Structure 1
Amino acid sequence: MSLSVGDRAPEFSLPDQDKQVVSLADLRGAPVLVVFYPFAFSGICTGELCQLRDELAAYTDAGVRVLAISTDPVFSLKAFKAQENLEFPLLSDFWPHGEVAKAYGVFNEKAGMALRGTFLVDADGAIAFAEVNSPGDARQQSGWKDAVAQLAA
């Protein structure tokens, strides 16, 4: 079961594409958009993250930090970030495999991957927006932007 609006966001510390640990707790005081995706280099995921890259100012201008999380190893994430010129951290939930995705209720046990879960965590650590899509179901990012606008209002 995934998280709902109002729930406390589970804390996590994960390595990014450069093996630098990023902790949700360290970002407290600012909203954070947490975007889970199945796999680096896959078609839908690449399209979603490139759209996020192209529209990143809609989030950063509102003071929102963006973190993308998959169960890929850091080496894949480093290559993916470089290839697509992504300007936000790609975090590896590789080991223990999918533990953070499990905590957010977006881990597909049979496939060993994260679902398309999107969570806007407010400055106090509560979920302000939550959406979970199936692996083949691309997300519409307009809902994320509306949630950011409401949070900023």
Structure 2
Amino acid sequence: MTAAGAAPPVIGERAPELVLPDQHGELVRLSEVVLDRHALVVFFPFAFSSICTGELLDIQLNIDEFVNDKVQVLAVSCDPTYALRAWAAHEGYRFPLLSDFWPHGRACRDWGVLDETSGTARRGTFLIDPSHAVRWSLQQESGQIREVGVLHRAVRDL
């Protein structure tokens, strides 16, 4: 639980809405993404960090598994859009990187994944179904690598 008291949504619960600009400044709405497919919402602490780069590169290297007619990846951090745009261009990410920069961390706080001390997102991962319910989730502490094989299994089981 964060200092603000929000807890991450649990399986079966309705996911909080998510309306954030992507790396190009375009607003992305979770409710629109999940109209006809699932969303894999991946919160991460920092653009350009080694652990986050490795995790998102694994998704990019398997893009057809994570972005298709059944699922869409949405990666979220508290980094500004400019940093996310530079990082996406540098790494070749072909999925939305959403900026929760301002108001700082509001979406991360709503999802119960804001580290109030550092002002960064914790490694929370949620699979949201078309009814906007949490179907699967994984929480990792800062500095711990997400086991990406678990993400593959969650998406493969759709």
SS of residue in 1 equivalent to 2:23: coil
Please, which moves more after superposition, 61-70 or 13-22? 61-70
Contact 2:81/2:99, CA 8 A, preserved across alignment = yes
Aligned identity (percent) is: 43
Q: 2:108 aligns with which of 83, 87, 101?
A: 101
* Cα distance per residue 1:71-111 (max 9 Å; x no partner): 00000000000000001010000011111111111000000
The answer for unaligned runs of 5 or more in structure 1 is none
Partner of 2:81: 74
Q: Could you state the TM-score of these two structures normalised by the residue count of structure 1?
A: 0.94
Deviation >3 Å, runs of 4+: none
Contact 1:62/1:148, CA 8 A, preserved across alignment = no
Q: 2:147 aligns with which of 136, 140, 146?
A: 140
1:144 shift after superposition:
1.8
SS of residue in 1 equivalent to 2:57: helix
1:142 shift after superposition:
1.8
Report the residue type matching 1:55 in the other structure.
Answer: N
Q: What is the RMSD of the two structures over their aligned residues, measured on CA atoms?
A: 1.1
Cα distance in structure 1, aligned partners of 2:149 and 2:9:
20
Q: Does 1:36 find its partner at 2:56?
A: no
Partner of 1:149: 156
Partner of 1:55: 62
The answer for unaligned runs of 5 or more in structure 2 is 1-6
Q: Paired residues, what number?
A: 151
Q: 2:53 aligns with which of 36, 46, 51?
A: 46
Report the residue type matching 1:39 in the other structure.
Answer: F
Q: 1:10 aligns with which of 16, 23, 27?
A: 16
Contact 2:37/2:69, CA 8 A, preserved across alignment = no
Report the residue type matching 1:137 in the other structure.
Answer: Q
